[in-house]
Amino acid sequence: MNYKLIRSIAAVAIVGMFATACQKEGVTKSEEVLTLNGATRASSALLQDCEWNTDTINATGTSYAYAGTVPTSFTFPGGPTIQFEGNAASFIRPVTTDWFIGVDALENACEDWSTIRLGILRKNNAAHKGAAPASNPCNVVGYNTVLTSYGTGYYAYSQTPPNVPVVTRNVVLWYNANGTSDCYDAAPPAGAQAYVISVQSFTVTGAPPTLANQVIINWRAL
């Protein structure tokens, strides 16, 4: 794969995808490519001390706006279902009842639950939730409060060149039987069933109203 070419395309494409999507629809570029760099490749060594599963999620879209992506589900074998939605299908939301989401430091990728649970930034916590997406800002993580108020997320995005998103945290899911709604917030319980997700890349190709989104994730059960 020509990573130099992808980085070059992404540096231009990301401006149209995120800045334009937050302002208006109707972008007419023939191709938009969005890939993650920097933190994902730099952190690859952090994934080598434990075993990971790899899966690819393919979604479709009609525009570059948040609502322009068709929500697409992925179910962990014997576990919960999560949904990929929003810009480039890069936002992750648990849809199984009593499952909650947050983010944690990249260096904790191979730690056990007793360590990870203590460092999680819980998305439903008032300090991390944000106000978007307006349809339901609870229990969903994506980009980290840069262009709009999405609250705490797992990747950063610079509005200056090279305009490429960079994964800065892992995504963590956990079960809490005491949950009363998808906005419920409490410290993750000890001994909970949980998963860590390391997003490796997301790409968008095509042009509105026919977009193809692909997200590649590494994940492991705790």
Per-residue pLDDT at 215: 92
Asked whether the predicted pLDDT for residue 61 surpasses 60, the reply is yes
Asked whether the predicted pLDDT for residue 7 surpasses 60, the reply is no
Mean pLDDT, to the nearest integer, of 42-61?
82
Alpha helices in the chain (DSSP H): 3-14, 20-23, 39-42, 113-119
- What are the distances in angstroms from CA 30 to CA 24, 27, 33? 17, 9, 10
Per-residue pLDDT at 139: 97
Beta carbons of 38 and 61 less than 8 angstroms apart: no
Strands 210-221 and 155-156: what pairing?
unpaired
Per-residue pLDDT at 45: 63
Beta carbons of 123 and 101 less than 8 angstroms apart: yes
Per-residue pLDDT at 2: 35
Global pTM value: 0.81
Q: What is the pLDDT of residues 170-199, one digit of tens each?
A: 999 999 999 999 999 999 999 999 999 999
Higher pLDDT, residue 173 or 164: 173
Asked whether the predicted pLDDT for residue 20 surpasses 80, the reply is no
Per the prediction, the chain carries an average pLDDT of 80
Under DSSP, is residue 17 helix (H, G, I), strand (E, B) or coil? helix
pLDDT band at 21 (very low <50, low <70, confident <90, very high): very low
Asked whether the predicted pLDDT for residue 107 surpasses 50, the reply is yes
Q: Domain residue spans in the chain? A: 3-221
Residue owning tokens 């730099």: 42
Beta carbons of 151 and 123 less than 8 angstroms apart: yes
